[in-house]
Each structure stands twice: as C-alpha cells, then as structure tokens.
Amino acid sequence: MESVVKIENLQVEYRSKEFGQRTKLAVNGLNLVVQQGEVFGFLGPNGAGKTTTMNVLLGFVNATSGVAYLFGTNVREPIARQRIGYLPELTYYYKFLTGKELLRFYTRVFNIPSAEAERRIDEVLKLVELNGAHQRQIKTYSKGMQQRIGLAQALINNPDLLILDEPTSGLDPVGRMKVREIIQRLKSEGKTVFFSSHELGEVETVCDRVAILCDGELKVAGRVNELVEKYQTNLEQVFLKIIGYPLPP
Amino acid sequence: MNVIWAIAIVVLKELYRRKDFYVLFVLTALITLTMGSVNFFNDHSIVRYLKEFCLLLIWISSLVIAIATAARQIPAERENRTIFPLLAKPVSRAQLILGKFSGCWLACGVCLLVFYFFFGVIAASREHQWPVANYFQALALHWFALGVLVAVTLLGSIVFAAPSSNGTIIFVIAVGILAIGRHLNKVALQLAEPGRSIVYAIYYLIPHLELFDVRDLIIHDLPLVPWHIWALALLYAAAYTAFFLGGAWLLFRRRPLTT
C-alpha cells in the first residue's frame, strides 16, 4: 500500500519571543506514516504541534531537521501538493470574487482544462449545496457558507489526500454532519483524509487511526478500536490519559 | 505560466471591484476639464502649459496607483489568510510574486492607456495633430518605469509589514530619484570623502527613473528618441525589475507562514 504521508524524524524550532529563551521546540522527532485510503485523526491539546506539522506538510514552514513526503515527493517541492486538498481552520477567501470565480481560479492553478473545470465546479458546488449562491460575491456569504466554499475549493482538484484543520469548528450540527458525510464518502472512494480536531466523539466515529501529540512529541499512534479496547474507555478518556490530564478516580 | 496569469487576473479583478480604478476616471475627468478650459482663456499659448500640467498629474497619479496597489498585495494575502489555501496548492512562492507583479503591472498599463488616450484625444482636438509615435515612446517608457516601481514595492512589502510605511518610503524614494537622481553625480563632486564615494555609489546603483520621464516629447513635440536608445532604456528597466523581483523571491522563499 502506498504511503500518502510520510514524516521522518521531523523537528521544528521557532524563535522564541520569551526573554532568555532563544528557540521553542514545536515538534520534536516526529515519525508518522499515513497509508492510502485511511481516515487519520491528528490529535493533541492546543500547542501540541499539530498545526506546525500540518504547516510543514503544506510547505508553509520549513523543518529544522527531518523530512516529510506527500506521495513520495518532498514537501519542499510545490508539485507535492498537486494531489492534495486543504481546508484551513479559519476560512478566508478572496471576498470580492463570487463562489464560482473562486473555484475557477483554483482550477486554473491546478491546470485543469476548462471543460473539465466547469464540470468539476458544478459537481463540488452541488456537493456542498452552494449551487444557488455561486454567482454571489463571497463577502455576502454566511459563516457556514464560507466554510462550505472552503470545502469546495479543497475538493476542486479531486484530491487523493484531503488535509483538514479542525474542519467542523464553528459549524452548526447540520454542517458538522455534512462534513462527516463528505469524509465518509471520500473514504469510500479510496481517498485519504488527514485531519486535526478537538471533537473526539467525531474522530472516534470517522477515523481509522489516530496519532496523539503532546508538547511536540508523538505520544501514541494506532487504530481507534485498538486504543479504545486497550484502555477500556472511549477515545476522549484515552486522550486525556495519554496527555497526562489528572482524571477523577 | 497559467498559475502566474491566474493570480494576475485575481489582482485585476480585486482592483476594479474595490473601485480603485475609479480614481483613474476622476483624474481623466479632471484632465478633460483642464484641457477644455483652454477655450475659456481664449489663449492658445497656454496649451503647452496645460499639457505639462496634465502629464505631471498623470505621472503622480500613476506612481500612486502603482505603489499603493503593489504595497498591499502580499501583506493583504497574509492578513486575510488567503495565502494559505493558495500556497497549499502547487503554487511556488516565485509564481506568487510573479503573479502579483504581472497583475499590478498590467493594471498600471491599463491605467496609462486610458490616461494617455484621453489626454491625446483632447490635445489633438486643440492642436489638430496627434504624434502617435511620440505618445507610444512616452507611454512605453512610463509603463516600464512603473514596472521597476511595482517590483521594488513588492520587495519592500516583504521587508516592511505595514503597506502604508512601505508605500510612503517607496513613494519618497521614487519622487527623490525623479527630482534629483540625474544631479547626484554633480553633488558627489562637491563632497569630500567618504561622502563622495557614497553618493557616487548611490548614483550608480539606483534605477534612474528620470530617464523614463520623456514628457517633453509630447509637450514640445520634440524629435523621437532613437529607437535603439529607447529599446535599451526598456531593457535597463527590465533588468532592474528582474533584480528586485529576484530579491523579493529570495527573501520570501524561506519565510515561514504560520497559520
């Protein structure tokens, strides 16, 4: 099976803003492999290094040491991102464009031929239920609609790997359900989904495997059902135990 | 190339939807009104003075449009976080810079076309002649000078976080070069060392934008600049543009973007 995401001994240091401390270690010696077709949950408390790791995968931040690959290509090469879709936690797009123009722009970025692009745009607009609002400028969209246009742009190139950074934060229950449905649908199509979330119930429902990070280090990685079985409790309790949160007896 | 063009188109769309381009029409109306006022004075000797005034207005306005547009491109992408979904796609940082440059430079070109066209039509209606070749040379040199300014502003936008400070600094430098750039060598001669060497170094390093200001070609109907000199001047501007864009890329390529 092809490894879609491969991280080897990743270390990321930031210059610290605190006096007397030169650097802050955001990620320390992370090793991780995500296989094709998996829905992989990337968990950890705030400041654990999840977003930094995602930033390295997406080429926003360079690793201090170690290496990361997407589909076998070093993430430093822009072409490594040809087969991925990315939904940031906070969705901000060119608000002066209409929904359709935004998607057309991204199809040009992916070099999708125009006939294919139009078909693809209609398909994703229908999927995220924005086909009635595609001629309106994004600045007129509600928060939920902006999240959905974000999801549409992440899917525009029919990606083999979808990277979602807290995809359901700020969404209403219907929106959350819709995102879950899309993740399940992508899984059934053999796509890989790599996402971070604090909604552990949701992660337990949709993920095949999870990795839990704390203080920049990988604490555990494994199949959700195996972790739940091993610790004899739900994923939330497993998570709290692993990050060292004092649980009531 | 597709990626660069796609980014440039978004820059253009933003400009006309943000109504910045309407500054252009206000200015054009002002020019038209000024030129039209020739009849009120009933004095044809004033035409050249008005042409000079209008072309100065076009230069100032184009500098403002070029610098203000370029200064906010990359900071706005970062501030609005639109840079993240964009760079998460197979887009290199070099393509982003080139796309932004192309969009801003094209926008400047469109502005200049409209400015010079309106100006030309009205001047021709008063003088009953339109030296098209003079207009073409002046417009092309003006446009390439703006290319240098757009490139240096993009470079500045990576160094300075605030578009306003970047814009102000570049505007002051540009006006300074246009006003005293050609005299710096004479100033250097009057100075003692090490001031002389420093001013000479500045003289040889700065892009001499004043070379591209050939308004007299239109105002006084001077003979054309020899075409090979004109082409060399364009090459000179292109070299400086490439240098500044290269610098912008070098600074931006390793810069972390944190979400």
Residues A39 and A69 in one domain: yes
* Domain closes at, from A140, A158, A176: A158
CA angle centred on B57, ends B56 and B59, rounded to 5°: 65
Residues A95 and A204 in one domain: no
Residues A167 and A248 in one domain: yes
* Top mean-pLDDT range of A70-79, A188-197, B100-109: B100-109
The answer to whether residue A50 scores a pLDDT higher than 70 is: yes
Give the domain range for residue B140: 2-253
pLDDT score at B21: 67
* CATH code of residue A246: 3.40.50.300
Q: Is B205 domain-assigned?
A: yes
Total domain count, chain B = 1
pLDDT band (50, 70, 90) for residue B120: confident
Residues A120 and A5 in one domain: no
pLDDT band (50, 70, 90) for residue A199: confident
A55 to chain B, any CB pair closer than 8 A? The answer is yes
pLDDT score at B36: 67
Q: Over the stretch B121-148, which tens digit does the pLDDT of each residue have? A: 887 877 777 788 989 999 999 999 999 9
* Contact call for residues A207 and A164 (beta carbons, < 8 A): no
Q: Average pLDDT of chain B?
A: 87
Helix (H, G, I), strand (E, B) or coil at A21: coil
Residues A179 and A234 in one domain: yes
Q: Over the stretch B189-199, which tens digit does the pLDDT of each residue have? A: 888 888 888 98
For the question of an ipTM over 0.90, the answer is no
Alpha-carbon gap, residue B103 to B164, rounded angstroms: 20
The answer to whether residue A197 scores a pLDDT higher than 70 is: yes
Residue of A nearest to B78 (CA): A92
Give the domain range for residue A153: 91-158
Q: Over the stretch B209-219, which tens digit does the pLDDT of each residue have? A: 899 998 888 88
Residues A76 and A188 in one domain: yes
Residues A247 and A163 in one domain: yes
Secondary element (H or E) of residue B91: none
CB-CB under 8 Å, B6 with A105: yes
Residue of B nearest to A63 (CA): B256
The answer to whether residue B40 scores a pLDDT higher than 60 is: no
**Which residues make Cβ contacts (< 8 Å) with residue A210, sequence separation at least 6?**
A40, A41, A42, A43, A203, A221, A222, A224, A227, A235
Q: Is B259 domain-assigned?
A: no
Total domain count, chain A = 2
Residue of A nearest to B18 (CA): A96
CB-CB under 8 Å, B85 with A108: no
* Contact call for residues B230 and B139 (beta carbons, < 8 A): no
pLDDT score at B38: 65
Residues A20 and A100 in one domain: no
> Which residues from B are below 8 Å from A82, CB to CB?
90
pLDDT band (50, 70, 90) for residue B42: low
Q: What is the mean pLDDT of residues A68-85?
A: 90
The answer to whether residue A11 scores a pLDDT higher than 60 is: yes
Q: Over the stretch B203-241, which tens digit does the pLDDT of each residue have? A: 888 999 899 998 888 888 788 899 999 999 999 999 999
The answer to whether residue B41 scores a pLDDT higher than 60 is: no
**Which residues make Cβ contacts (< 8 Å) with residue A245, sequence separation at least 6?**
none
Alpha-carbon gap, residue A95 to B14, rounded angstroms: 9
Q: Is B258 domain-assigned?
A: no
Residues A167 and A75 in one domain: yes
Alpha-carbon gap, residue A160 to A121, rounded angstroms: 17
pLDDT band (50, 70, 90) for residue A17: low
